[in-house]
Amino acid sequence: MTEALGAYIKNRISVTEEELNTILSYFVPLKLRKNQILLSQGELSQRTFFVVKGCLRIFFIDEAGHESTRYLAFENQFATALMSFINAAPSDEYVQAVETTEIYYITHKSFYHLLEVIPQWEKFYRMYLENAYVSNTKRLMSFLTQDALAKYHQLLEENPIIVQRLSNKMVASYLNISQETLSRLKSK
């Protein structure tokens, strides 16, 4: 199972086999049930997750009780409640397995230890942060500038796996539209 994680890391940074083995030694495998919560609002995000199989969802619940999905991580993607992980502050988000999911996780302490002992890990982290920034900025821009149809078409073009594997409720939550609107868009 660590082959996928090792390949992911080696595709992004140049490390020796010894360095890669050191990095991988800090990751812990974990199998999750469908809908299992890994992090709840108010808790500290102390782990970063790599999805081997399945899907993790990062979401929050607004004051009216509506869920909004911020990020979905499928196979070969990392996920965490990043603001809490970085700031060591209580999370505003939840992390949930939306399918039966297999992951590797690394603790905050181990992640930051690797930054000190393996110079290339800092490059890996920088790339991770840059990708998160670009992804979040693109999503924010689409929310501010696109109507529901444009957002749906963009999702189908850039990330069709979301529509293929997840419920309409979750897709609507990700697009920040109602389920009714999503149903109308799908029927067109």
Asked if the model's pLDDT at residue 146 lies above 70, the reply is yes
Q: How far apart are CA 126 and CA 120, in angstroms?
A: 10
Asked if 168 contacts 179 with a C-beta cutoff of 8 angstroms, the reply is yes
Q: How far apart are CA 41 and CA 29, in angstroms?
A: 23
The mean per-residue pLDDT over the stretch 68-93 comes to 94
The mean per-residue pLDDT over the stretch 113-133 comes to 94
82-to-34, 128, 145, 154 alpha-carbon distances in Å: 22, 11, 25, 24
**pTM of this prediction?**
0.91
Q: How far apart are CA 84 and CA 87, in angstroms?
A: 5
The pLDDT assigned to 188 comes to 75
Name the pLDDT band for 78 (thresholds 50, 70, 90): very high
- Classify residue 49 as exposed, middle or buried by CB count within 10 Å of its CB (0-12, 13-18, 19+): buried
Asked if the model's pLDDT at residue 170 lies above 70, the reply is yes
Cβ neighbours of residue 53 closer than 8 Å, sequence gap 6 or more = 75, 101, 102
pLDDT tens digits along 108-119: 999 999 999 999
The pLDDT assigned to 40 comes to 96
The pLDDT assigned to 1 comes to 58
The pLDDT assigned to 142 comes to 86
The mean per-residue pLDDT over the stretch 39-61 comes to 96
* Cβ count near 33 (within 10 Å): 9
The pLDDT assigned to 2 comes to 79
CATH fold of 2-117 reads Jelly Rolls (2.60.120)
> Could you say which DSSP state residue 91 is in?
-
Domain ranges of the chain: 2-117
pLDDT tens digits along 4-29: 999 999 999 999 999 999 999 999 99
Q: Angle at CA 89, nearest 5°, toward 46 and 136?
A: 85
The pLDDT assigned to 76 comes to 95
Name the pLDDT band for 144 (thresholds 50, 70, 90): confident
Asked if the model's pLDDT at residue 139 lies above 90, the reply is no
Q: At what angle do helices 168-175 and 179-187 cross, to 10 degrees?
A: 100
